[in-house]
Amino acid sequence: MTVKPIHPGRLPENVTHFVRLLRAAGLPLGPGHTITAVRALAAVDVTARHQFFWALHGTLVSKREHHHIFESAFRLFWRDPFGADEALSALLSRSQIPVEKPPSRAPARLSAEGESATRPAPDPSREAPHEIPLRLAWSPTEVLRTKDFEQMTPAEVIQSKEAIRSLKLDLRPVLTRRREPDPRGRFIDLRRTLRTSVRTGGCPLPLERESTRTRRPTIVALCDISGSMESYSRILLHFFHALTNAADRVHTFVFGTRLTNITRLLRDRDVDRALARIGTTVQDWYGGTRIGASLQAFNLHWSRRLLAQGAVVLLVTDGLDREGGDGIRAQARRLRKSCRSLIWLNPLLRYRAFAPRAAGIKALLPEVDEHRPVHNLESLAQLADTLSGRVGKGPGSRARLG
C-alpha cells in the first residue's frame, strides 16, 4: 500500500492517512473510525502532545494487543507525515499483531532528535498531585516504582522519565570554613568589633557577630555508558539532568572507552534537546568499558578543580571492565581520598545472589564509601534521600561498606 505525501497542516487529511497506515499494519479500522478520530481531536488541544495522542488512541485502539502497533505508528507518522511510505515499511517489517510482548530494551543509542521528543507523554491524570522535596513525584503503580529499568516496556520507560522530570530537589547546604557577618551569629568577629569600637571610643563596645557560611554541595557524577549499562544509563541521564537544573554545583561525566564532560549540555532546561546534543557529542556509546583509564583521566584533569571543597562523587557502573580491572583500585583510591564521599551505584545489586566475582568489582568495592543499587525508580528515590543527609555531614562521617 502506498500513502501519498500530504501537507502536515491539513489535520483531517493527515488523520485519514494515519488511519490508512494503521489499517495497513493490521488494525481493523474503517472510514467511521476516521470521522470519530477527527471529532475527538476537535474536542482537545491538538498542540498538547499527550492530549493529541490519547484522543487518537481512544478512538482507534480497541484491543490491548493493538497498543504497541499504534504507539510505533504514531511515533513514526506524526514525526514526519511526508514520510508515510517509510513509516509503513518500518511497521510492516516488524512483527504483525497480535503482539505478545513489547520489546524490553529501547534503541541502542540516543537519537539526534532526543529520545523522548517523538514519544507520547503519559496520561497527566496519572501524575502525582504535588511534589515532595527529594522524592520522585510519580504516581504510577507500585509495580512501576519497583520494576527493573531493563524490563520496562517503551511506554513504562516514558512514564519513568516523566516521573524523573517532576523530581524536586532541595539539597541541604553544607558548612564551609569561611564565616560571614550575622547579627545573630554564635561567633564574635573580633576584628570588626575593634574597628567599630574606634568610632564609639570603646563605650559602649558593640559586639559584631558572625556565623559559618554555607553553600550548595558539589556533586560529581561519573556514569558508565557501555553496552552492559545501556538500559540504565539512558534513564539515569534524565535523573542527572533534573539534578543539574536543580542545583548549581553538579558536574556530570560519561565514560565508555573515554571520559566526556557533559555538564554544559545538561544545563539546557529542555531535556530532549540536551540529550540530543549529548547523543551527537559522545562517541563511545554502548561499547566497551575502560573504568581504570576513565578514572585516571578524571583524577588527572578534573579532580583538583571540582573536588577541592569536598564533593560527593556518584560512580555509576556495573564494574564490568574490558581491561580486567587494571588500574581501577589505585585510581578509585585516589578519587576516594579527594572527595567527601564516594558512592558506587551498581545496577547489578538488583540480584539477590550478587557476588563480587568480576575483577573490576573486586577492585572497586574496598575503595568506596557506599555501594548502592540503581535499577528502578525506588532506588533513585532512596538515592535522593541519601544525598539529602550525606551532603550535610562532615568529612569524618564515612560509611565504609563492603
On whether both 183 and 262 belong to a single domain, the answer is: no
* Domain-embedded: residue 265: yes
CA nearest 242: which of 309, 156, 295, 171? 171
On whether both 209 and 229 belong to a single domain, the answer is: no
* Domain-embedded: residue 397: no
On whether both 209 and 332 belong to a single domain, the answer is: no
Question: First and final CA of the chain: distance in angstroms?
Answer: 61
On whether both 231 and 370 belong to a single domain, the answer is: yes
On whether both 207 and 263 belong to a single domain, the answer is: no
On whether both 283 and 371 belong to a single domain, the answer is: yes
On whether both 236 and 366 belong to a single domain, the answer is: yes
Last residue of a domain, one of 167, 186, 215: 215
On whether both 263 and 376 belong to a single domain, the answer is: yes
230: left (phi over 0), alpha (psi -120 to 50) or beta: alpha
**392 against 149, higher pLDDT:** 149
Matching residue, cell 507525515: 81
* Domain-embedded: residue 201: yes
pLDDT digits (tens, 9 = 90+) for 263-278: 999 999 888 899 999 9
On whether both 31 and 64 belong to a single domain, the answer is: yes
On whether both 201 and 276 belong to a single domain, the answer is: no
Give residue 198's domain range: 176-215
Whether residue 129 has a cis bond before it, omega within 30° of 0: no
Among 100-104, 143-147, 191-195, 251-255, where is mean pLDDT lowest?
Answer: 100-104
**pTM to 2 decimal places:** 0.58
* Domain-embedded: residue 135: no
Residues 231 and 149 sit within 8 Å (Cβ to Cβ):
yes
On whether both 197 and 301 belong to a single domain, the answer is: no
Among 35-39, 77-81, 250-254, 376-380, where is mean pLDDT lowest?
Answer: 77-81
Give the bridge partners for 224, in sequence order. 255
DSSP letter string, 258-313: SEEE-HHHHTSS-HHHHHHHHHHH---TTS---HHHHHHHHHHHTHHHHSTT--EE
Residue 356's pLDDT is: 87
* Domain-embedded: residue 119: no
- In percent, the amount of the chain with pLDDT more than 70 equals 72
* Domain-embedded: residue 333: yes
On whether both 223 and 204 belong to a single domain, the answer is: no
pLDDT digits (tens, 9 = 90+) for 305-362: 898 777 899 999 999 888 777 789 999 999 999 998 899 999 999 988 888 888 999 9
Sign of CA dihedral 358, 363, 364, 365: positive
- Specify the number of domains making up the chain: 3
Residue 400's pLDDT is: 35
Q: Residue 172 — pLDDT band, cuts 50, 70, 90?
A: low
